[in-house]
Each structure stands twice: as structure tokens, then as C-alpha cells.
Structure 1
Amino acid sequence: MARTEHDGSRTVLARDWQGKRFNSPNDVVVKSDGSIWFTDPSYGIDSDYEGDAAASEIGACHVYRIDPASGAVAAVATDFEKPNGLAFSPDESKLYIADTGFTHGDDLPRHIRVFDVVEDGTSLTGGEVFATCTVGLFDGLRVDVQGNVWTSSGDGVRCYAPDGTELGLIRIPEVVANCCFGGPKRNRLFICGTTSLYATYLNTRGA
């Protein structure tokens, strides 16, 4: 896990956990306290297609937190198959994490789980299923100011209310991997399709 500085230099923040190198860090969010939370599935070491084929030193796929003061790395969720996209709720009391284990077996997860962030902001509790994908897989996801979850899927971007109710779908003619809010008012949703970048204005703003 690395950070690119303003002068273009690169600062490595974390190389391993308990002396074992990460699989292939995938998605990352930074909490307002400066802590860095990221997922570490095995996609980058599964084959030479997305990275470099290698055995997992950790032997599992976890979600991690880097402490902003000490730089210490802690595993905050260890019961995932393939943790992928993640995002905090607007008040940072909840953390949504996609599990795309379905890529490695039809009986494995294709859902988003929701965790409660403990009061001191260093660990998680809960982890129930928030929404299950019916077309393709959830991957990257973001949250708006109302707490709605916007997530990629096999046929576009789906939007879910904080209680898990599906509110709608922005249909895209190809598989979507990620999405994010941008623009001066953060009311434009940028959508990464398989071969194209799409954008649309919304009646909400990114958190």
C-alpha cells in the first residue's frame, strides 16, 4: 500500500502483515481520522493475467486498517472469501464491503456486507449481508450524502437505501467495475465500464 506525494515521490505505507506480504491490495478508503482501510483479495496473484502468479503467504484474504499515528497494520475483518470494494457511511459509523468470492465458485459470496465501526474507530463488529448481486458481481462502491449505496454490477450501477432496499439501476451496456462521485458539486457519477468511461448527473451528492 503506497501513497504518491505532491512532488511525485512514492511513500510505501505497508508492505506486509505479521511479516507476510499482502496478496494484492485492491480497494482503499481513508477515514476522517487519517486511518487507511483496504481490501486484499488474491486476484493479483491468482494468475499472470492480472498480476504475477504466486502462492499467498497469508493464506487468506482479509480487510486491513493502517493506523495514522503508528503505521501499524491490523486485520479488521478475516472472514471474507474475496473482499473487494468498500466505503464508509456518511457519518463513518458503518463500513460496507463487497465480497466477490463468486469468481472462484458458484457457491461463494456475491454480496455486500455492512459492519458497525466501534466507537474508537479502530475495529468492526457485525457484518451481516446488506445486498446480494443478481447480475454479475458487486465490485467498487460509493455512498451518497443520504447514505444510499451506489455499487457496480454486471449490468450497470445499482443504488440501495441504507436499509438494503434496491432503489434503482443505471443501466450500462457492459459490465461495470467501479464508480465514484466527482465534479465541483460531487453530483456527477463517473462509471468505469469494461471498455468505456461513462458519466451522469444525479439529484444527490457523494458523501
Structure 2
Amino acid sequence: MSTMTDLVPDPGALERIATGSTWAEGPLWVPATGTLRWSDIPGDRILQWHASSGQTDEYATSVEFTNGRTIDHDGSVVQCSHGHRRVERDRDGVVTVIADAWNGVRLNSPNDVVVARDGGVWFTDPAYGITQPREGHAGVREYGDHWVFRCGPDGADLRPVVLDVDEPNGLAFSPSEHVLYVASSSGDDPVIRAYDVADSPRGDGDAVAPRVKNGREFTRFGAGEGVPDGIRVDTDGNVWSSSHRGVVVFAPDGTRLGEVAVPEVVSNLCFGGPDGTTLFLTATTSVYRLPTTARDAVS
């Protein structure tokens, strides 16, 4: 089992690289451009930090309150839109719809997203974009709940896969993709849950759809830590989570390895940089980076 010192040799190396957001969220390292991209949700804009120059600029404005994002296998960016109540694809600045409705009703406000090895798009759908005035547009929960959904790369076969999380937020797969972790940002039940993932025959030739089962508590946040929001898993299976105090790391068995304090409330995180070992953190108004020895399991 890794120790926190193994993973983060120098916590004091935490560095703020950008500021000026209202609520920074959805960080993503974009290898093709050597940039870190994130959302200022209330500012309704997407920002980017350039590793080559250290400068920050606006990637896009009037973006309908985008939130979490991930890189697809083709290099395009899959992102969540609170305002459009959808998951969408940004390919070189051209944005198209992946999924915006299930069973004839609109989604709530997709929040965070991952792409599995088979190209499946998995995303959480809490209601912040229709209940928080600064994060989208007022609306109603048309299917009456908050679920985790999965669909094909272009939105086909959209279906709910996790139905028992109060407020599903961040999500991430274990290195084998046999475990799905989902953060619940409910103030009444601040937990990260784990689910087993297996293929299940659908009865239409060789096609299979993932089956999610055996939901269980992976870890629970304590007093003063706030709620888990964005999460990532490294290649050794350690789970890295945002918290109100900083970033906290858990071993694959749920053992708490330690935490790194951050001066602002951390919303989300991602690995990136030239060698993939830099941890980037969006935290209230700012973005921070922290050298680590870890890499994202999906990279």
C-alpha cells in the first residue's frame, strides 16, 4: 500500500496558477494543446491555462454553464452543460449534443462525466443547474430523482445505471473498470459509494450492456470535511477526492492515506501535465497544481 508521502512527497509545493473565477469546476488536462481547461460556472465561461506560457485566457463564453468534462478516445472533449441540461461533445470548438433526455423527459443538469474503454459515456445528473440560481436556469426534476446514466459514444441506449445515490456528483472507474466510484454531495450523507461493474447479455447478438450492482459505502466524510465532489482514481487504484479542506486520498480498500490542505474549498481535480503526474485542483476562485508520483487510471 502506498503512503501519502509516496504519493505527494512535498505538500508544500502546492502552487496557485490561476485565479479570478467565481466558482471554478470541471478541470481537464488537454494533451493536444498542453492546456488545462475548466469552467467558471456562474461566470458562464470556460477558461484555459497554457503550460507553455503560464497565461490564462477564455476558451469560450456564453457556454450555458458547463461543468465537468473528460477527454474521449478521439481527443474530443465530452462535457456537461447545466444550462442545456445535457451532455455534449466539443470537437475543436464545435459543440454537438450527446444526450439530453431519457424516456421522453429532460435530464436535470448533468454534472460530471467519464468515458469508459468501450466508449460508453457515464455521467451524474443531480439538480444543481435547475435549483441553484447562479449555475443554470430554474427548472423541475422531470424524472423526479437524481441518477447516474450511461449511453453509447453518440448517445444511443441511454439508461440509468445507479439509482441509490442522494446527490450523485463526481465519478470515476477503478483501473480495471470493474468498480465505479460515485461521490454523493448530499450534506446529510457525504459519502463515496462503490459499485461492481460487469457486462450483461442484452439478447441482441454480441452486444452487451454493463450491469452495475452491489452498491456499498466506500468511505464517509467526517466533521469539517464538507462533502466529496470531484474524484479521480490513480493507476494503483487510490481514490483522490476533493473536500472543503483540500484533497484527501484513500487506498483501494477505503483506508484513508492522508490529505493536503488547500486554502480554498476544492471542487474538483484531475491529473495532467507533460508526464501526467501533476494534480490540478479547481478551488472556489482559483486553480492550483501539486506535484505527485501518481497518474490517472484512465490515461
TM-score class, shorter-chain normalisation, is over 0.9
Q: What does the per-residue CA deviation read over 1:105-128, in whole Å, with 9 as the maximum and x for residues that have no partner?
A: xxx210100001013561211110
RMSD: 1.3
Q: What does the per-residue CA deviation read over 1:147-174, in whole Å, with 9 as the maximum and x for residues that have no partner?
A: 0000000100000000000001011111
Q: Which residue in the other structure is 1:45 paired with?
A: 130
Q: State the distance in 2 between where 1:10 and 1:192 align.
A: 23
User: For 1:68-79, what aligned pairs fall within 5 Å after superposition?
Assistant: 68=153, 71-79=156-164
Which is further off, 15-24 or 116-125? 116-125
Q: Which runs of 5+ in 1 are unaligned?
A: 103-107
Contact 1:47 1:54 in 2 (8 A): no
- In the alignment of these two chains, the number of paired residues is 201
Following TM superposition, where does structure 1 have runs of at least 4 consecutive aligned residues deviating by more than 3 angstroms?
Answer: none
Q: State the distance in 2 between where 1:70 and 1:184 align.
A: 31
Secondary structure in 2 aligned to 1:23? Answer: coil
Contact 2:99 2:155 in 1 (8 A): no
Q: Which runs of 5+ in 2 are unaligned?
A: 1-86, 201-208
Secondary structure in 2 aligned to 1:174? Answer: coil
Equivalent of 1:174 in 243, 248, 264: 264
Which is further off, 34-43 or 74-83? 74-83
TM-score by length of 2: 0.65
User: For 1:157-168, what aligned pairs fall within 5 Å after superposition?
Assistant: 157-168=247-258
- 1:110 maps to a residue whose letter is P
Equivalent of 1:59 in 141, 144, 154: 144
TM-score by length of 1: 0.93
Q: Select the structure with the greater relative contact order (CA < 8 A; seq sep ≥ 6).
A: 2
User: For 1:99-118, what aligned pairs fall within 5 Å after superposition?
Assistant: 99-102=184-187, 108-118=188-198
User: For 1:1-207, what aligned pairs fall within 5 Å after superposition?
Assistant: 1-6=87-92, 8-68=93-153, 71-102=156-187, 108-120=188-200, 122-134=210-222, 135-207=225-297
Task: Give the percent of matched residue pairs that are identical in Structure 1 and Structure 2.
Answer: 46
